[in-house]
Structure 1
């Protein structure tokens, strides 16, 4: 069960990173936005874009990519729990839709600021609760239901996935070779791109 422990710890680290990001958005909204009588388009867009990014990151987690499919193949005992977790994700999506709708209409009154902050809070609460239930309820079920060789295969897949993402990230930030394009005179070549890390 050592491989299962390793895999669940890796998934737990992913959860922790998501929680930190959610908490940062909550703090911004509670300490700054909630006290305003109106929000600028930029302020509201920043929060909506951040929430959208968090939700998309949640959908791309290793838990969704590797653990849930393995659990579904191993046992149907967790189906109702998974359905409840999916319900929390839908609640987050609905809250994000509400925040975006308020953004489109303009957040130019205390009432609309309150509604926007409430939608953000509901989004964060739904995903936070999902993460807590995954760790407290889903992980123990998975540990019991999934066989040892499946844990080993899953750990291997996760490592390969991390390696691929790291390699892809390196290629994205590496500047292209400094040479003229085919058929382009050297003096017309664009200067090298400066990448900030």
Structure 2
């Protein structure tokens, strides 16, 4: 079960990096909102939106989504309801981002009344993703640990090592991917 342990450690490390990056994005959104109480800064809002859009793309390329969930789907139908819930959470988050994108494209026509709704949608997206991470950790990982065979864990670990080697030029690293490492500055001067 050493391969299962390695795989779970790799997944937990990825989850922790994701959670830290998400908290940084939430802080950025909060700081941007606080800074705009007297002056709307469309550039900050667009930057937050673009960062969350990149972040959402990264989330779909995580080890959990690329390797663990497909292995669980192949191994058992026990997790079907949970996987449907996780998919629904992700779909809701994507819908929120698309809504914000539509609002940003029409920002000039909407005036400043849209600002609160955009900020709320970005915060809701972050909450949805945190909910998904919590469900993965509390419910999905224990199912994976229980239903996947040693051979399946070995195959997953092999894919993780291969992906890490490609991502980091052959050297393994616990650093987050570039989209997460290039987080926006968290301190803003009030306008």
Normalising by structure 2, report the TM-score: 0.82
For residues 72-100 of structure 1, the C-alpha deviation after alignment (integer angstroms, 9 at most, x for no partner) is 11101001100000001011101101211
- Contact 1:39–1:108 at 8 Å: present in 2 too? no
**Counterparts of 1:105 and 1:168, CA distance in 2:** 45
Deviation at 1:16, TM superposition (A): 1.1
Name the count of aligned residue pairs. Answer: 168
Q: Residues 128-167 of structure 1: matches in 2 within 5 Å?
A: 128-167=130-169
Deviation at 1:44, TM superposition (A): 1.6
The 5-angstrom pairing of residues 5-84 of structure 1 reads 5-34=5-34, 36-37=36-37, 38-84=39-85
TM-score, structure 1 length as denominator? 0.80
Instruction: Give every structure 1 segment of 4 or more consecutive aligned residues whose post-TM-superposition deviation is greater than 6 Å.
Output: none
SS in 2 for 1:149: helix
- Stretches of structure 2 that go unaligned for 5 or more consecutive residues are 172-191
Retained in 2: the 8 A contact 1:3–1:155? yes
RMSD of aligned Cα (Å): 1.8
The one of the two structures with greater contact order (alpha-carbon pairs below 8 A, sep at least 6) is 2
Which runs of 5 or more structure 1 residues have no equivalent in the other structure? Answer: 170-197
1:13-61 deviations in Å (ceiling 9; x for gaps): 1111111111111112223314524533311210111011110000000
